[in-house]
Structure 1
């Protein structure tokens, strides 16, 4: 990555990486109730997750968020790699938004009041895709 590319991406990567890292660190020691809420919500959208214990799921989720945040914050990680990580993470979150009843207005992509907290993750998807495109087109 050139220093110009890094400078151009720095604000986006630092702000997004710090946010995602902080979120993961907050889930690292989730209590049983929080773990069950996270697991129940995710497994209702992604049934394969039902096989995991709630505490194990919360630990894996925290690790995924910590890793994604760290990848974004690490200047030596190419933009395309950081973009793929963030795009995948955001895609999973938007899957929750799209598939969870009550998150969207009837017959619409627009969020209900309850869905607003997940709908905002579309920004993470945009940032991830921007990093990916920037990395593929400029990091040579």
Structure 2
């Protein structure tokens, strides 16, 4: 791990790990809401129960967060995981019309919490570029 990547790995890793940790004991209403939003963009999750979906989401978020926090995980792998995770959130934003202002790419009031996750894609790509262009 390079010193220059520690801030971005700590910030994103801790945030994502905490997000997954907080979903471990999601109640049925929360599970249904998260499952409903995700299946609108990614119909392949419709066959999962809301509780199983949230359990899988929780584990996935904690795995991505842990990969970012673990110093032995290469920048390239951590960056790839972060880019994929952020990309899935941006994909959900792009595929859910209610999250955007009509006829626009800009977020509606409901879309702001998801649209802001574009920073995760930027952070992941930064880690990947850093790993791919480092000559040391």
1:91 aligns with 2:84: no
Asked whether the equivalents of residues 103 and 112 of structure 1 are also in contact (C-alpha less than 8 Å), the reply is yes
1:46 to 28, 42, 47: 42
- Structure 2 unpaired stretches of 5+: none
Aligned 8 A contact 1:104 1:111 in 2 = yes
> What is the Cα deviation at residue 108 of structure 1?
1.6
**Number of the residue aligned with 1:37:** 33
Corresponding residue number in structure 1 for 2:108? 112
Structure 2 CA distance, aligned partners of 1:34 and 1:107?
Answer: 29
Across the aligned residues of Structure 1 and Structure 2, the Cα RMSD in angstroms comes to 1.1
1:65 corresponds, among 61, 65, 82, to 61
TM-score for the superposition, normalised by structure 2:
0.96
Contact 1:79–1:139 at 8 Å: present in 2 too?
Answer: no
8 Å CA contact 1:78, 1:139 repeated in 2: no
> Is 2:136 aligned against 1:101?
no
The one-character-per-residue Cα deviations of 1:45-79 (angstroms, maximum 9, x if unpaired) are 11110010110000000000000000000111111
In structure 1, runs of 5+ residues without a counterpart are: none
Question: Once the 2 structures are TM-superposed, how far is the Cα of residue 139 of structure 1 from its aligned partner?
Answer: 6.8
How far apart are the structure 2 equivalents of 1:139 and 1:51? Answer: 46
Output the CA distance in 1 between the equivalents of 2:35 and 2:110.
18
> How many pairs are equivalent?
136
